[in-house]
Structure 1
């Protein structure tokens, strides 16, 4: 289940970065139908079809075939938008000067270890056998 979720989210990121929206995926049926129409009427192969609708022949095809305008509007990937985000990074340097001197305290510690738990090490009668 995790693998399927990972694949779906990766595909979502891929499609969004390529500019493919959900409405474009629903319009793929219209794309297939219009491709079949061009194949039957004009004898266009797939590459010629894409060249006429998305490539260099797009303007001449739209001028010559104005009766197909409603079909052309229903094709996917017709939106023209440039969503480029530009970020401006401004690096400003600040210098902080310390006006107050740093004080260090030197103190002599008078700590001596006191064995307060020596009563726990009393010899016991019950001890495990020891090797000689």
Structure 2
């Protein structure tokens, strides 16, 4: 029962961190606000908390994810770590692609303004004979 409660707590942590660290910066970037910041650590915290939270909520303590005697992960533990790491990488890649598409180069950057240069206004180099 305690493991399922921890699972619920982990899911609440994941939801709160996703809202604060991913959703709010993305909404600010879509509104073209200057100086939008995000933290890379959120992209590690959210997937790990979500994956382990779901695992504990569904299975409780019935499926061992670690071997306490050997201080190592079991196969189930390695699958959870692999899922969370994949979610972390894919989530950051998706977020970074959206952030770049909105004109922000990095965290804390202002959106880039596209300048349209009229080719006619660029002087031609002098002819050398």
| TM-score, normalised with respect to structure 2 | 0.23
- The one of the two structures with greater contact order (alpha-carbon pairs below 8 A, sep at least 6) is 2
Larger Rg: 1
| TM-score, normalised with respect to structure 1 | 0.22
